[in-house]
Amino acid sequence: MSHGPDDLHGPFEGPEKLLEIWFSPSPDDVPDAASPDSSGRTGLRKVDRNVWEEMLNIVKCQVLSVVYGDDMDAYLLSESSFFVSPHRLILKTCGTTLNLLGLPRILEIAATRANMHSVYRCFYSRKSFMFPERQLGPHRDWKQEVEYLDNIFATGAAYTVGKVNGDHWLLYLTNPGDTSLPEVPPIDPDPCDSQWLPTDYTIEILMSNLSASARAPFFSSLSPSDDPHTHAAALSQQLGILNIFPPQVTKLDAYTFSPCGYSANALVKWGDELTSENKVSVGVKSDKSREGYYTIHVTPEEGWSYASFECNVPSYASNKNRSIPDLKTLIQRVVSIFQPGRLSLTLFISSQDNDTAEESVEAAQRAFRMALVDPQIAVHFSRGDMSLSNARGPPTYRRTDKINYEFGGYDLAFASFELIG
C-alpha cells in the first residue's frame, strides 16, 4: 500500500475504513435509468473521473487506475479502492486516510451531478485498528466516527461485533431514508430457483500475522522503468490471485508498491449463461449475466502484516455455474495465499425473511468452520512454511468467536480464527 509522509516514520495501518452509500435500491431506480448516455451509463457512473478525484483529494488518496465494466467502475487507489455503480458507491481506504470526510462531498456530487437528493441506505464499517493513536479527524475513535455520521443521518445505529479487548468489527448503518422508494423484492428461499438471488451480499476476510513465506512476494524494489501494473499482473498469476475466480470471467487491475505492498481490484462476470467462451474481454453480456467485484490489499511488513479480501459475488452462483467457487472453496483459496495467523470473516447479506436469513448465516458459519478447521485445508497451502505447522503436522485453525446478528433487512455472520501451533 502507498505510505504517506507520516507512515514512512512508523507502522502502516492496514485495516480499512469501508463506506458504502446506496442512493436507490437498484440501478433500475436511478432517475435517469431510462436515458443512458452513449456508453450505456446511468446514475453515478455518468460522473466524470476528475470530479471523483477531487472528492478523493479530501480523503487524502489518489487514483492509480480505473477499470470500466458493464455494470460498475473500479478505481484502484493509492490507499485501497473505490467502486462506482449507477445507484451505489463503495469507498474503501486504509492508512490514515480521512474516509468519512469525503461523505459530504459525495452527497453533494450525487445531488448535483446525478439528481439523487436522498440516501437510501448507508453503511460504514471497519475492523479494530492496530494503531488507533495514529488516526486523524473523526477516525481517532469509534465514538467520534459515530457522532460524525449521526450529524448527517437521522436513522443511524452503531454496533460492535466481537471482543472489545480483542479483534472486533465495527458497523454503522442507516435504515431506508425515503419510504417512497420501492421496496427490495423478497428473496425466494429456494436456491435452485433460477430467479433466486440475494439483493446484497458481501464477504470479507480480514487477515493479520501473515506467514513469512506469504509476505515475501509482496516486497519489491521496482526500477523507474518497471511498470507497477505489469509487475503486479505477473505476481497475481504467480500467487494464484488471478485464479480465485476463473480468469476467463475476471478483469483484474493490480498494482505493486515499492518497497512493499500490493492492491488489486477485479470485476467478475457471473450468471446462469456464462460459458468459457463468454469472456470479459469480448464484452459479451447476456440477460442473465451479472458483474460483481473483489478487492485485495496487502501490507506485508513484519509486526503489522495484514491482508484483506472483499467480494460481492454470491457463493450461491456456484449452484448454476460450477466454475464459480462456493464459500468454503473461496475462503480456502484466499487463506492459502496469505497464510494468516489470525483472521476474521464477515458475511453481510440482505434478507426479507427472518427464517431464511437464519438459515443463510448458519450455513455461512458452517462454511467458515469447514474451510478452516477441516484438516484438508493443508492441501491448499501451496508454499509450505514450518511456522504454519502444529505438532501434528498440517496447519489448522481454531475458532475463537462466532456471532450472528440480525439488523433491519440485513443479517451478519461473524467469526474469528487463529492458527494452532
Residue of 2, 3, 16, 318 marked active site: 16
Q: Which of 43, 364, 370, 17 is nearest to 198 (CA)?
A: 364
Is 277 in the active site? no
Q: Find the catalytic residue in 94, 122, 260, 311.
A: 94
End-to-end CA distance of the chain: 29
Tell me the DSSP string of 101-145.
Answer: GGHHHHHHHHHHHH---S-SEEEEEEEPPS-GGG--GGGG-HHHH
Is 2 a catalytic site residue?
Answer: no
Burial class for 322, CB neighbours closer than 10 Å (0-12, 13-18, 19+): exposed
Q: Is 20 tagged catalytic?
A: no
Is the separation of the CB atoms in 420 and 398 below 8 Å?
Answer: yes
Q: Is 260 a catalytic residue?
A: no
Contacts of 279 (CB under 8 A, 6+ apart): 248, 249
Q: What is the rounded distance in angstroms from the CA atom of residue 186 to the CA atom of residue 90?
A: 24
Q: Which of 348, 17, 23 shows the shortest CA–CA distance to 199?
A: 348
All residues at 6 or more sequence positions from 39 whose CB lies less than 8 Å from its CB, including other chains? none
Contact 22, 316 (CB under 8 A): no
Please pick, among 13, 145, 291, 301, the residue that the annotation labels catalytic: 13
* 223 part of the active site: no
Catalytic residue among 85, 211, 236, 263: 263
Identity of the residue numbered 90: I
Catalytic residue among 26, 80, 344, 351: 80
Which residue among the candidates 3, 87, 139, 297 is catalytic per the annotation? 297
Q: Which are the catalytic amino acids?
A: 13, 16, 80, 94, 263, 297
